[in-house]
Amino acid sequence: MNLFVASLLAALAGARSQCISQNDAMAPPASPDLTPLNDFGINLFRKVVSPSKNFIFSPFSVWSALTLTYFGSNGNTKSQMEQVLRLTNREDALATFKAVENIYTSRNNNYTIDTANRIYATETLTLKDCLQQVFSDKLKMLNFSNVDLVVETVNQFVSTTTRGKITSIVTPDIVKETAMILVNAIYFKGFWKRKFEAKDTIQRKIFISANEHVMVDMMHQYGEFKYGFSNELDAQVLEMPYRGNGASMYVFLPKDKKTGQELDDMLGRLNPDSLAAALRQLVYEDVVVRFPKFKFDSIVDDELKKALKALGITDLFSGASDLSNFAPRDKIAVSRVIHKAVIEVDEEGAEAAAVTAVIGAVIVSIQPPSPPVNFFCERPFFFAIVDTKLNNIPFMGTFRKP
């Protein structure tokens, strides 16, 4: 039987002592360490990022959907997923999974991060009896022979969770070949701590390549921001915080604009260590910021499956798949993993959503003030939306042209 996974970030509800893990009731940590998740996310992003188009991607959504799948794995399938997803065991993974849900549903800051999970299974699939208690309202048994009902149910969940930003993830042809659908969705909306004034937005020419320049709506402001330069990435780095002091957009702007390949060269050097090092050395500076308004979406289908296999998750997509911790009597393999994401950035802030389917102090100085730093995003760049409280990267992407 085929399994299809869709990602709208969510988590597990109440747990029975021993169903998914040896201790399903383990108390979730107050501050889960999501650093290993970022290692997975950056490595996966580099494999799936488009070399020619704007690209938005939520590694957190993919990780969440695959972690949900991991809870059903055994044997070599489980070992491969642990290695790639940076998981140690099901007990710790389940505790972290629940902790993320608790934090994101309880925080009430000036930005929104909403997550939600669902498991949709055909009524003819023989699942472990205790799963209903472990996953509570996350598990939905449906009549998969009623294809239209399944499509409507799954896509309505996706649309509701992402505030209508993503309206569908499954189609009838997917449902006809599927016995189980795991869905994970994530939605983010944040308002800039220092918003851009609409009256300052003007059309400006930006560099795409040596032979191409285009016009874009360019926002503008001057203020104090955390700024630095990464020698390893050969890029300027700027933090633009959202209200609430819990999330920021970090922008990585390649230093040069000569050939149009500078962004791809930078991405080739991007890894968990170089990203962390770049963020650690940021300091407050007076900065003149030019940043484009943009809105775009991305979908990753076959490329995502290939990337996961290249990273080391192979059995899950073959006859060797072992998901017997979900359904001991049935043979289930993942046929597809589909990821959709959308982002919009304007003078007020940013709004993003994704679905993955798996089928300071004031310093007084007598020195004259330094001139402000120019941070002009007038060439392709990489960006990451970071939950600075959890050190989690819900979204990352590239802007190449309007």
Q: Please report the pLDDT score of residue 262 as a whole number.
A: 93
- What mean pLDDT comes out for the span 310-330? 91
For residue 364, pLDDT over 80 is answered with no
For residue 362, pLDDT over 50 is answered with no
Contact 69, 316 (CB under 8 A): yes
Domain ranges of the chain: 2-191+296-345, 198-292+362-399
* 287 closest CA partner among 211, 376, 399, 203: 376
Terminal-residue alpha carbon distance, the chain: 42
For residue 10, pLDDT over 50 is answered with no
For residue 54, pLDDT over 90 is answered with yes
For residue 104, pLDDT over 80 is answered with no
pLDDT band for 256, please (50, 70, 90 cuts).
confident
Least confident of 130-134, 234-238, 351-355: 130-134
Separation CA 24–CA 158 (nearest Å): 27
Separation CA 194–CA 219 (nearest Å): 12
Instruction: Specify the CATH number of the domain 198-292+362-399.
Output: 2.30.39.10
Separation CA 239–CA 252 (nearest Å): 9
The CATH homologous superfamily for domain 2-191+296-345 is Antithrombin, subunit I, domain 2 (3.30.497.10)
* 136 closest CA partner among 18, 254, 11: 11
What sign results for the dihedral spanned by CA atoms 100, 104, 106, 109? Answer: positive
Average pLDDT over the chain reads 86
Q: Please report the pLDDT score of residue 348 as a whole number.
A: 94
Q: Please report the pLDDT score of residue 359 as a whole number.
A: 58
Q: Is 41 exposed, middle or buried (0-12, 13-18, 19+ CB in 10 A)?
A: buried
- What mean pLDDT comes out for the span 167-190? 88
Separation CA 36–CA 226 (nearest Å): 25
Phi, psi of 92 (to 5 degrees): -65, -40
Q: Which has more confidence, 256 or 74?
A: 74
Percent residues over pLDDT 90 in the chain: 54
